[in-house]
Structure 1
Amino acid sequence: MAKYSEEFKLKLVTEYLDGHLGYKSLAKKYNLPSKTPLQDWVRAYKTQGIEGIKRREINKAYSVQFKLDTILFML
């Protein structure tokens, strides 16, 4: 499970982009350990839009059967 939800990230990003508070103030307001995660979310949002702050599935685990089927297919 992600440490921060997509809704939470979007809320902070939009609050930052509205210009009311800076990185450090927002991080303190929402009890983030530092301003770095917020900076990363804003950068990702600016370059990729909402997709930039969505969770991505990483390190997907494949079943043994799937691996065997793939090997047999390649032979």
Structure 2
Amino acid sequence: MTKYSSKFKAKVVHEYLDGGIGLNELQQKYQIARHSTVSSWVKRAQVHGMSSLKVSHHRNKYSQDYKISVVDYIQTHEISRNQAAIHFGISSSQANSWMKIYQEQGVAGLRPKPRGRRSTMSKHKNQNRSPKRLTATKEEKYKQQITELKRQLHNAELDRDILKTLATITRKQPK
């Protein structure tokens, strides 16, 4: 069960957007744990509309490519995971989870997991259990490489911009 209903979220966001009250005051008025919660509701409503505040009771299945695009967006746009979650219309915990999986296991860890009950195993196989490491397919290796190259390119562009700014500042200073 969700902590806050869709109607409650909409009420709080409308009250903020109508003006006259800030995030901290709303947080205290409605006894919401953190004002960042209210802030994320407001940003989500501004980006995706009030319908995005609706509580969803079904599980979405996301493709591996979609998960990679979220991870890539976080790495190359210098934004927080929460901001990326708002941009893509997913929960911030989902973006955190995908980033953690990507950092630990790479692109192979982002592949969709089989759903349903596991098949029963014989006692012999059950005794030899060890944590299995996912092996990436050729396509996943290429996707991993592309994502890493995009991240490196973004970092190189940042370094270049910093050096250009520094050169401009040093040229303008009198000797």
Deviations 1:4-58 (Å, cap 9, x if unpaired)? 0000000000000000200000000000111011000000000111222112333
TM-score normalised by the chain length of structure 1: 0.73
Work out the percentage of aligned pairs sharing the same amino acid.
37
Root-mean-square deviation (Å)? 1.8
Number of residue pairs matched? 63
Deviation >2 Å, runs of 4+: 56-60
Aligned to 1:21: 21
Q: Match for 2:18: what amino acid?
A: D
Q: TM-score, normalised on structure 2?
A: 0.33
Counterpart position of 1:45: 45
State the secondary structure of the residue aligned to 2:46. helix
Residue matched to 1:3: 3
Partner of 2:59: 58
Q: Which stretches in structure 2 are left out of the alignment for 5+ residues? A: 62-114, 118-175
Shift of 1:63: 4.6
Q: 5+ unaligned residues in a row in structure 1: which ranges? A: 65-75
Structure (1 or 2) with the larger CA radius of gyration: 2
